[in-house]
Amino acid sequence: MTKPSSAHPRPSPPTAPPTTPTPAPKRSFRWPLRGIVANVAVFLILGYIFLAAFGSFLVPYGPNDVSAGPRLSSPSADHWLGTDALGRDQFSRIIAAARPALLSATYAVLFALLIGTAIGIAAGFLGRLWDGVLSRIVDLLFAIPEYLLAILVLAVMGSGLINASLAIGIVTIPRFARIARGSTIEIAQRAFVDAARLCGRGRLWIVFRHILPNIASPLVIMTAINLSTAEGAYAALSFLGFGVRPPDADYGSMISSSQQYLLTDPWVVAFPSIAFVVLVLAFNLLGDVLRDRLDPHTRTAAGA
């Protein structure tokens, strides 16, 4: 009651920002996250971010260095996770692949979030003809099989990290657009939107000050869930050869180039697969945790 600034309807973000400039040194730092799952997810993701940022200083060998060791050697003291068919150090390559993995998922989801939310809000808020046209476009996008559409985009634009992310982003747009549209329609009929209109506020003010803050929760949940989906999609495209250019490391391409050794030297497939699955799992857990925290009703199986 006496401290209104901390009494805020939004759950605190993972890293608590100091909202008050006043020095409050008495209180020791408190880890803001409760629950094992939440902590594991955040810990894993932070770990991958760390590897993506500083991995190049940690790797014992150059990730593309073909003379790092003998071909297809088993895990050993020299090569902790063995070497691949060209004698490259698997441990170094797995660390190097963290960066494109994280970047692709982030780019794709940010792109979809931005465009999808804009389309969804426009459709939901402007209504009528806008809603009809935009919703039909989104339906159309939804109707095309995702990978087919992504590969089509890549065939036109060429492969590479940015293009693959963009392709995944495009096929992810409808999910964000639908969530944003539905939430916008629900918020736009509330009386405070009418009150804002009577106060002489324009559409842009209403969208940015009233609609967006109120539809943020489902969008954040969608973002977390789609990070894992996008990560999986990027690995699949990379497996098919649309990811980063060889010889740079990528989980998908590492799996695809080693699959012929699956029966004789299983670790060359196993280790990049494990690294990939753990990352996707971490994103999934984060999405679940956020949904539990932000959406107490869990009324929509978002993304389904």
**Which ranges of the chain does DSSP label H, i.e. alpha helix?**
36-58, 90-96, 98-126, 128-143, 146-157, 161-188, 191-198, 203-205, 212-239, 251-258, 267-294
- The rounded radius of gyration (Å) of the Cα atoms in the chain is 23
How many chain residues touch other proteins (CB under 8 A)? 21
8 Å CB contact between 122 and 134? yes
Give dist(CA 102, CA 276) in Å, integer. 11
Binding test (CB under 8 A) with other proteins, winner from 79, 175, 210, 291: 210
Instruction: Tell me the CA distances in angstroms from 85 to 64, 72, 246, 290, one per residue in order.
Output: 12, 5, 14, 41
Choose, by CB under 8 A, the member of 11, 145, 213, 246 that binds other proteins.
213
Which of 198, 204, 301, 304 lies at the binding interface for other proteins (CB under 8 A)? 198
| Contact call for residue 296 and other proteins (CB under 8 A) | no
Please state the separation of Cα 52 from the chain's center in Å. 15
> Measured over all CA atoms, what is the biggest interatomic distance in the chain, rounded to whole angstroms?
75
Q: Is 200 in the site for other proteins (CB under 8 A)?
A: yes
- Select the span of 50-58, 98-106, 142-150, 189-197 touching other proteins (CB under 8 A): 189-197
| Binding residue (CB under 8 A) for other proteins from 66, 201, 241, 261 | 201
Q: Convert residues 8-27 into a mask of x (bound to other proteins by CB under 8 A) and - (unbound).
A: xxx-----------------
Minimum CB distance to other proteins smaller for 191 or for 304: 191
Q: Is position 203 an interface residue for other proteins (rule: CB under 8 A)?
A: no
8 Å CB contact between 272 and 97: yes
Shortest Å distance, C-beta 211 to other proteins = 10
Residue numbers of the site for other proteins (CB under 8 A)?
Answer: 4-5, 7-10, 190-192, 194-201, 209-210, 213-214
